[in-house]
Structure 1
Amino acid sequence: MEIRNSSTIVNLGEKTLLDEKITLGSNCKKITIGYGCFIGENVYIDVPELVIGDYTTIHKNTTIHGSEKCEIGHNCWIGQNTIIDSIGGMKIGNNVGIGTYSQLWSHMKFGDMLNGCRWNTKKKMVIEDDVWFVGHCIVSPVHAKKGSMAMLGSLVVKDMEENEIYAGSPAKNVKDKMGTQFSEIGIKEKKKIFKNYYKSFILENSIREADLEYEELDEVQIRVGNTRFNLEERSYWPTRSDYEYKFMKYILYDKAKFIPVVK
């Protein structure tokens, strides 16, 4: 990793993997990356402060730049060749997917203001939990609400409403045609699905049930080994055991995502 500012403070969580070809630019002052993350090759970071939660993946050739703080939550997946601009500020929630070749812009400027150019703005972009930009999306500094989704190639210029789907250029709400990203699943069905994940995990990894026990603690809580999960709140109490790490990696990113409970 190349660090161009000798005073940059870097805090890395355990089991976080960084490619050697990562650059921290001269504007970087503090970089905090959580537990179990992965940052791929040729990722360029140049923001004064970057905070990344646990189990977030940033693939190769991604650029994160700007003059304001950039926050990225837990369990996020950022595809290769993505641009994240934090000149106006950037806050990305938990469980957010940003597909390959997407661009998230928090500012717009180029034309001469002295010559009367009307387009010179910056605004903090807010992306709430479970938002999904499928890929090749270009996004202006909008507020993308929880569970909203933009289909492949969308040009997003307006705020996105909760659990609704957008498509096109400019992107329009297509909920009437495509429905929503998420549908309701009852707790009994969630428990059934989660137990199947557990069974598949121990089978594929040749783990005995006695070594990684499964127990239903109450209506919504499950224990896998020493780790307790709340299926209703999508939370868990980390133990940082090797089994927990392997299980979390197994269910990410398309099976289930859980947010750590901070004591």
Structure 2
Amino acid sequence: MNQISALNLELGVNTIIDPTAIIRGINGPAKRIKIGDNCYIGANVQIICDDFELGDYSKIQNNTTVHGYKPCKIGHNAWIGQFSIIDSIGGTTIGNNCGIGAHSQLWSHIKFGDMLEGCRFLSDSPLTIGNDVWFVGHCIVSPITAKDKSMALVGSVVTKDMEENCIYAGSPAKNISEKAGNQFSPVSVEDKLAIMQQHLKDWDGDQSSIRIVSNLEDVNLNQEDLTYFSVSDRKYTKRSSEQEISFMKYLLPEKAKFTPN
């Protein structure tokens, strides 16, 4: 693949990369590029990073740019909307099941002013995004820590850390959870089982190799012809069967998200 230049390349199965996408390092081949299974990287995407990792079932939509000197790691089931920017000059880590809406900008540095002339603004620091974080769209994010399940509404300018399962809005973004509630409400294991059983029933596929369970401790993981989906910890036994991939694609992006055990 001529559009990928890397000294160490791991490219998953069933991954689609548009011919116009460019993936390379800052000054030549990247040191390490790892892209998981069943991913999609769209037209005119540029990933210019010496160390880049993207998890399974993740999608980077057209005209998005990822760049930076330090490692950029994006987890499983990510959705990154078109015309977004992810900067990793200070290092960027994005957890599993995260959504970055179109035209959003995630930054890990501030750099431009003339230091000789006395400019006071020159810094880079890690940008750390937890699991299930959602930047709805047109968000601008400074090098902060966004804890699991936090959410920033459309047009938010995020300059401070985001607390777990809280909703933020505005410029600068403020916590509005007291008025808006939280992104996630509690769901019991029993209810999750019932919901997933219904999803399995509604899915137009061969159900014989799919099992929905409360947790993986109660099953025989050596049964390699079966894929188990555990609702208590949102893990599944990755077998990469045709049925498993079809069911995962049916669940994503909004019905349910699971990551490999």
| TM-score, normalised relative to structure 1 | 0.91
Distance 1:201 1:135 in 2: 30
Distance 1:214 1:32 in 2: 28
Cross-structure match for 2:7 = 8
Cross-structure match for 1:99 = 101
Distance 1:187 1:208 in 2: 25
| Structure 2 gap segments, 5+ residues each | 220-224
Distance 1:256 1:86 in 2: 29
Distance 2:233 2:57 in 1: 18
1:18-68: CA deviation from partner (whole Å, max 9, x where unpaired) = 111111244222110011111111000111110111111110100000111
Aligned residue pairs, count: 252
- 1:83 maps to a residue whose letter is I
1:216–1:54 Cα change, 3 Å: closer
1:260–1:117 Cα change, 3 Å: same
Cross-structure match for 1:68 = 70
Q: CA RMSD in A?
A: 1.8
Distance 1:216 1:95 in 2: 20
* Alignment match of 1:177 (pick from 176, 179, 183): 179
Cross-structure match for 1:194 = 196
Distance 1:198 1:39 in 2: 28
- 2:150 maps to a residue whose letter is S
Distance 2:64 2:109 in 1: 18
1:231-262: CA deviation from partner (whole Å, max 9, x where unpaired) = 0000000110001001001101101111101x
Which residues of 2 match residues 1-263 of structure 1 at below 5 A? 2-3=2-3, 5=5, 8-27=7-26, 28-202=30-204, 207=205, 209=207, 212=208, 215=211, 219-220=214-215, 226-261=226-261
Distance 2:18 2:245 in 1: 20
- 1:190 maps to a residue whose letter is K
- Indicate conservation of the 8 Å contact 1:187/1:220, yes or no: no
The alignment partner of 1:196 has SS state of helix
| TM-score, normalised relative to structure 2 | 0.92
- Indicate conservation of the 8 Å contact 1:227/1:244, yes or no: yes
1:182–1:26 Cα change, 3 Å: closer
How far is the alpha carbon of 1:196 from its aligned partner? 1.2
Distance 1:213 1:52 in 2: 27
The alignment partner of 1:130 has SS state of coil
